[in-house]
Structure 1
Amino acid sequence: MQLVDHGGVTDHGTLLWIGDRDSNAYCDAYDFCESHVSQLAYRVDLKSALLRPASAVRTILCCRDNDSAESVELFRTLCRLHADAKAVLLLGPLCAGARPSPADLFAVPTIHWHEWESFLPGYLRRCGWANRPGGVPQSIAVVAASHANASALLSIASSGPASAIWCRPDQLATLHRFDEIWWDDSATQGESWDDLMNRLVDPPREHVWVSGNVTPKTKSAAMEAGVDLVIAKPGDFSLLIDRAAGETEFGQRRAA
């Protein structure tokens, strides 16, 4: 597992979101940002972001719909304008296989649209993000093929108030009264989600899947089966860490 350092403690700067926020590729990420950051400034494109500068910007998120780039120079100008901000591109479905790659073209980190849960939250720490209030799990079962596969998730799950145990896939029927089940891909590989869910006698409140094979297809299948959160590995495990710790979010978002 990979933990990403985004600059230390949470602060309360502005998230500058540039581009599409309504299409299926971006709407969930935008809704998450809107409800979790302390300040959000929306601009329809790079030109608008330059003409109407937002204040106290700490993270720039630019949605890239396809491989026909808006001016790289506009983007660089924007980054110079907000010199203290970290910039990241959220890549849409049509960017797959683009050459040169957006990361090379814009010289900033990139996040694929279907992996935003795994990588975006860490950038939001600079904009007042913390985990949702309430609903802190008191018990977590980590389902993995072996204790070695489960160890990293167990470490995170037990870092907060929750009690955490490891469970093999063939022991699912023994799980009772757990708030959450965290599925490692060692337990789900070659299995159908319907079969796995049907083995649960006492379903938990929420399911989390941590996998090294997160694609639009596998993510959709997991969500349709009832998985609430899909995390890619290696990645940024901020969502899992704060989920286990029970940190609270800042209540009132201010528009910028």
Structure 2
Amino acid sequence: MTDQKLDHGTLLWIGGRDHREFRAAYEYCEARAAQIAYRPHMQSAIDRSARGVRLIVLCRQNDSSAAQYAMRKILRRHRTAQAVAIRGSLEIASGRRPYQNLNEPLLPEWTDLPTIEFHQWDVQLPQRLRRCGWEEMPAEPATSIAVIAANAMAQQTLLSVASLHQVPTAAFRSAQQAQLAGFDQIWWDETATAGKPWGALLQSAPSATHRHTWITSDQSLDHHQLAKAAGVENIVIKPGSVARLLPNKLQRQAEPLEQATTNNRTWPAAARQAA
């Protein structure tokens, strides 16, 4: 949850800012935070204390027994700071969160640490920068939404979400310029984009006024970069919360829909994560 008042504290960044899974998040924060203190690892964060820390971002490629004790020291030193960990692909693949060792107790400073998966940082991290002097401006509200999905189940799921915007919506199995001309936002489901180059896809919607969102289970950073280079503005990873397709003021209205999609294989609720 964000603070009501904009703060101008220091962001303490711990871990690999040059790693390809964390670089974009670091560059984003560096360009916006009032002040950023970079420490390459936990021990350096302990040895070189930063001042005025209001937010701690920890990059985790893997966990360890020693890490939770180091995190306890860091959090006790910066008692007024919030902390979050960005999980890299190795830790995600290990299936462990947090470090599991039956011979050692788990510290609450580790088990209660909020986490963000590396491919979702741009959804969850920006709102936390209020503590460091930057506030994300709300996106322009949608005036109309076109859903492009190759099967009826995917179409219905996304149309249900789009209906909460209370603007004209329509669904198509494929993109054609004449169909999309009047729409403000275009939501591309992976069923309609699989195996197709983004350059060719977006030629069917060439208007500069279109805002494109890709809804996909593809977590490849290379594929995300290709999509964004072609003109895709937002990438929403599924399984995940459908609320991420909505502005903040509408996200609470998505809660009943979250329950309704429990058995929908297009957006599996069993693996949903909070927005």
Same fold (TM > 0.5) = yes
- Give the drift of 1:220: 4.9
Q: 1:112 aligns with which of 106, 109, 117?
A: 117
Identity rate, percent: 31
Distance 1:226 1:101, change over 3 A: same
**More helix as a share of residues:** 2
Where does residue 169 of structure 2 map in the other structure?
Answer: 166
Aligned length: 230
Distance in 2 between the 1:91 and 1:11 partners? 27
For residues 157-236 of structure 1, the aligned pairs below 5 Å read: 164-169=167-172, 170=174, 172-173=176-177, 174-176=179-181, 181-183=185-187, 185=189, 188=192, 192=196, 194=198, 196-200=201-205, 202=207, 204=209, 206-211=211-216, 213-216=217-220, 219-220=224-225, 222-223=227-228, 225-232=230-237, 234-235=240-241
SS of the residue corresponding to residue 131 of structure 2 reads coil
Distance 1:118 1:42, change over 3 A: same
SS of the residue corresponding to residue 228 of structure 1 reads strand
SS of the residue corresponding to residue 43 of structure 2 reads helix
The structure showing larger relative contact order (alpha-carbon pairs under 8 Å, at least 6 residues apart) is: 1
Distance in 2 between the 1:37 and 1:188 partners? 38
Distance in 2 between the 1:11 and 1:238 partners? 23
- Is the CA contact 2:190–2:214 (under 8 Å) kept in the aligned structure 1? no
The one-letter amino acid of 1:80's match is R
Q: Select the structure of larger CA radius of gyration.
A: 2
Q: Calculate the aligned-residue CA RMSD, in Å.
A: 3.7
> CA offsets, 1:22-75, max 9 Å, x none?
121111111111122333222222222223322332221111133456532111
Distance 1:102 1:88, change over 3 A: same
**Structure 1 segments unaligned to the other structure (5+ residues):** 1-5, 159-163, 245-256
**Structure 2 segments unaligned to the other structure (5+ residues):** 101-105, 150-154, 251-275
- Answering whether residue 37 of structure 2 is matched by residue 41 of structure 1, we say yes
Where does residue 98 of structure 2 map in the other structure?
Answer: 102
Where does residue 241 of structure 1 map in the other structure?
Answer: 247
Distance in 2 between the 1:27 and 1:177 partners? 37
- Give the drift of 1:100: 3.8
For residues 16-35 of structure 1, the aligned pairs below 5 Å read: 16-35=12-31
TM-score under structure 2 length normalisation: 0.65
SS of the residue corresponding to residue 116 of structure 2 reads strand
- Give the drift of 1:17: 0.8
